[in-house]
Amino acid sequence: YYWQVRVWDNLGNTSAWSAPAYWQTGLMGPAGWKATWIGPGYQEDTINQASPYFRKAFSVRKKISRATAYVTAHGMYEARINGKKVGDACLTPGWTSYNNRLQYQAYDVTPMLVQGANAVGALLGNGWYRGYIGFSGQRNFYGKDIALLLQLDIQYADGSAESIVSDGTWKSSTGAVQLSEIYNGETIDARKEKTGWDAAGYDDSGWSGVKTAGKDVSALVATENEPVRKHETFKPVAVTVTPEGDHVIDFGQNLVGWVQLRITGKAGDKLSIYHAEVLDKDGNFYTENLRAAKQQDNYILKGGGEEFFEPHFTFQGFRYIKVEGFPGELKPEHFTAVALYSDMEPTGSFRSNHALLNQLQHNIQWGQRGNFLDVPTDCPQRDERLGWTGDAQAFSRTATFNMQVHNFFAKWLKDVAADQLDNGAVPFVIPNVLGQGAVASAGWADAATIIPWNMYLAYGDKKILENQFDSMKKWVDFMSANSTDDLWNKGFHFGDWLFYRPFDDNDGRSAVTDKYLIAQCFYAHSTQLLVNAARVLGKKAEETRYGALLKRIKDAFLKEYVTPNGRLLSSTQTAYVLALNFDMLPENLRAETAQRLVDNIKAYNNHLTTGFLGTPYLCHVLTRFGHADVAYALLMQDTYPSWLYPVKMGATTIWERWDGIKPDGTFQTPGMNSYNHYAYGAIGDWMYRAIAGIDTYEDGPGYKHIRIEPHIGGGLTQAAAELKTYYGAVGSAWRLEGGKTLLDVNIPANTTARILLPVTAEGSVMESDLPLNKVSGLKVTGVKDGVLEMEAGSGTYRFSW
């Protein structure tokens, strides 16, 4: 189907037509599949499990109109036609709840086919399907046998059609890829290359047949999210020999992907590449925090000239590599690091005059790049790399500013629903590889409600609420079923994970927050979001029912966790933050509780003590209750624990722990010390929404009705952010200059905005040197609590006061 677009503006002007674009329907359900699952026909080595290679020769005798390849696998695949890779996606078919949903990809391969002899093929890797997965060393989680499903549909110019499908006529063999594991890396023996195996005319008489494995395609679904692709490349910034004598290369950025290599040597030379995130305080290569993950790639040369190495079915988290066995002099030009992540469009930018704050934004974005690799992983380097729900929900709103993540999360949320237990419990990780006992932790399972709502706010698409509503309701019903008198005070909960806990926990300022208090807060929050979703979708009965439940949940909270004098039983930053952010307290207690939060922060000398659950809301709560100065004090703090402490320690991504590297250069416990762990990067949401002041109203989601309210402070003299929305770019940039504040605002077409400025008199503000009442498109609506409010239509504005 082909389509074009043009637009009209409010003055009656009409744009030119856009260039033609098209989309095509995929296979219409199981009936559209003619292919058969195939596996290798030879006896596999059950220990090393070399990658199987498959091929099929065929002929094209007529002029082709269109050719589409539909491909998926149990395992990972790389499809080939006539000597070239099909598409540019990596790690396909991606990771889903394979038993319920297995994605296939569609490729337009019309230009790849030729008249006469052709060949189609594929090689497979273990991937998530049968490779090591999880921290218990488990393999074969989804099955012991990897397999290929491929269907090449050819439409000829004369109206006829033909399908080349995987079936019992294909051939199989092994080749250069001798080992491929996500955690452990890949081994390629170039001596075993089968040159031309994926091209027509290749002699495959020595290859084995294949095993057919039926035609069950009931779990297949079309791909709806952007695939993983190659992105930035990095050349070495340093090549050194460590005190221990290792040859180490520094790429200058902690990234996720792999290393390409160009090398010359003799046949049988073996090169090994080890990956690490950090060097120890003495400058030596450090891998203890990887736990059981080897992160090791090996290449065995075939000899005879320059050779090129690049993995196929693995990814590593690293800034540094250690090289062993390099023939000759090791030079920077031999190595290139390649970043891999889901191909999300960059949408947001934030900058200021503060170098450390800008580096923090850089780190947040690279934490997202490194961990948004088809699923939102917790970390990309150790023997884990799982879709932890708590991390994902904490960061989800920030993610929407940095990149276009609607499709990314829409796909993942369908796996949340697929892996959700029948009783409504949501697993700790999605896809769930930890079992049915690893479920229902407060703040983790609430990803089922929080993320759909955040996606709706950011993109204004009701479809994601429609798709997830039953899942949202099942989760709230689970909490209700496991509550007594509307109090959810049972079950396992991670609590405020990795909160700051000083050595003197008995000083009366302990940061330990009651886990059931946290659970009750998230019980209320999820119920509120369910009520919101019901309202948006016009589900009046559910809105009424769960609205009544919400009131009972908050009443139960007050009875259990608030003293008659209005004090919370847990006097921690996280307890205050959650109670205030989720409106657990009556109006008359909120200002007093916010002051207690401020007092607590000052007692810690303007340091936060929050963990994964309190941190995302901390600065928002302070700002909401008139303490933006304290929020700034926390953000600008650069000693442990703080956001800028890792930046000062040289971080290029967000760390799992506030003190992953201690002030003396030693490391936190290696069992859980990732240096690429995006959860604490949730502060990015506040940087966009509060410092720059870009937000959307619930009654105009997706930035149809925009809120612009910058908060000037923190010693900054300028800050700016821009966000690409479906309507166009929203911009807010302020600076202090000549004793005045200047604010540039951009509101895209077909939207409106409410602009709020920290001034008390309309006459003190000018727009492009004009009084506000002389500016077309602006309407001042009043001054409230020291804030001037105005409504604005689309356009570009420059305010000064």
Which residues are identified as catalytic? 384, 656
- Residues ≥6 apart with Cβ < 8 Å to 157: 62, 63, 64, 65
What amino acid is encoded at 53 in this protein? Answer: Y
108 bridge partner residues? 68
Q: Torsion angle of alpha carbons 327, 328, 333, 336, nearest 10°? A: 20
User: 486 phi and psi, to 5 degrees?
Assistant: 65, 15
At residue 738, the 3 state secondary structure works out as: coil
Q: For residue 307, give Cα distances in angstroms to 247, 266, 334.
A: 21, 10, 11
Q: Which of 125, 73, 81, 132 lies closest to 107 in space, CA to CA?
A: 81
Dist CA 735 CA 192 (whole Å): 62
Task: Supply 252's token pair.
Answer: 């200058």
Task: Supply 356's token pair.
Answer: 């450390």
Can you say whether the dihedral through the CA atoms of 507, 583, 656, 638 is positive or negative? Answer: negative
The 8-class DSSP code of residue 17 comes to P
Dist CA 666 CA 663 (whole Å): 7
Measured from the Cβ of residue 346, the count of other Cβ atoms closer than 10 Å reads 11
316 contacts 385 by C-beta, under 8 angstroms: no
The 8-class DSSP code of residue 51 comes to P
Task: Supply 430's token pair.
Answer: 């999605």
Measured from the Cβ of residue 581, the count of other Cβ atoms closer than 10 Å reads 17
287 contacts 383 by C-beta, under 8 angstroms: no
- Residues ≥6 apart with Cβ < 8 Å to 397: 454, 457, 458, 616, 682, 685
292 contacts 383 by C-beta, under 8 angstroms: yes
Can you say whether the dihedral through the CA atoms of 443, 447, 449, 451 is positive or negative? Answer: positive
Dist CA 598 CA 800 (whole Å): 31
117 contacts 55 by C-beta, under 8 angstroms: no
Can you say whether the dihedral through the CA atoms of 371, 375, 378, 383 is positive or negative? Answer: negative
How many residues comprise the chain?
Answer: 801
